[in-house]
A and B are shown apart, each in its own frame.
Chain A
Amino acid sequence: MPPTLDDIFTRKLAVLYARLGRDAQFTPTGGDAQPVRVLLDEPGSTGLDGMQARTEPTIRMQAVDAPNGVQRGDRFTVAGKTWAAREAGVPVLDGSELQVELKAVQG
């Protein structure tokens, strides 16, 4: 089937992740690690009435790379650092991407 305007975003999304994304390992709880491309964002902010500095890391990934979604506790390893999903992945826009809030894995 020739490409149509309807699927242009889905097709271009793979290109976007290939060019801008980073290699990562996605490990669902109880599952095997699998390679994925992700967009890792680590904006800084403050919490507790501005009294403690923190970062609020999130990962965006293509939903097709996680057919069963991302659940709380699933892990991502990016550049040697391991993160855990703080909560289930949230679909972004048309649902072709997932956004996942992360926390650092301690110890």
Chain B
Amino acid sequence: MSIQVNTTHERILQRVDQALQAAGTDAAVRVHRGRLDAFGADELPAINIRRSTGQAEAFADMVSRGLMEFELDFHVRGDDWETAADRLHLQAHRAIAIDAGLNTLGRGLRCTRTELRAEGGDETIGRLTATYQVQALTRGSDLALVS
């Protein structure tokens, strides 16, 4: 029996991080996990991966179904921020949608919502937040947690 150090939710986020770092998006290696500090102009475009809601429910007999959510924040600047954020999102989506490692940790990866925000200043600063869901099944007696 293998003992996992982290929940499935956390392992999925670690894998998303690896996939995005290697994807060659417009953000290059400017991919962060749960960053709380402000991005400077020279740090953009960038992606911030944030853990979101996790749920578990009984599924058939002795099986748990976990539904894990995470959010990708795409930070950009400039007058064409909407187009830049949209392009970055699509690049990132393709990278995680085809990642084999991620596909073994969970199933049914889908983007369920996007939200755009921007504010003025010396340059327009913008952010597109994409919410993703992934599902995983575990044995009810498993000591590891999905989320």
Instruction: Using CB atoms and an 8 Å cutoff, list the residues of chain A in contact with chain B.
Output: 42, 45-48, 50-57, 86, 101-104, 106
Contact = CB atoms under 8 A, between A and B. Distances in A.
Interface stretch (B22-30, B61-69, B71-79, B139-147): B71-79
A52 B122 contact: no
A106 B40 CA distance: 17
Contact of A104 (B35, B44, B123, B127): B123
Contacts of A56: 120-122
8 contacts: A42-B122, A46-B38, A48-B127, A51-B73, A55-B121, A56-B120, A103-B120, A103-B123
Contacts of A101: 120
Nearest to B40: A53
Q: Is chain A's interface secondary structure helix, strand, loop, or mixed overall? A: strand
Contact of B121 (A50, A51, A103, A106): A103
Nearest to B126: A48
Nearest to B42: A53
Interface in B16-44: 35, 38-41, 44
Contacts of A55: 121-122
A86 B44 CA distance: 22
Contacts of A57: 122
A51 B127 contact: yes
Contacts of B40: 53
A48 B121 contact: no
Contacts of A42: 122
A45, A52, A57, A103: most-surrounded residue (chain B CB, <10 A): A52
Contacts of A106: 78-79, 123
A61 B106 CA distance: 60
A102 B124 CA distance: 11
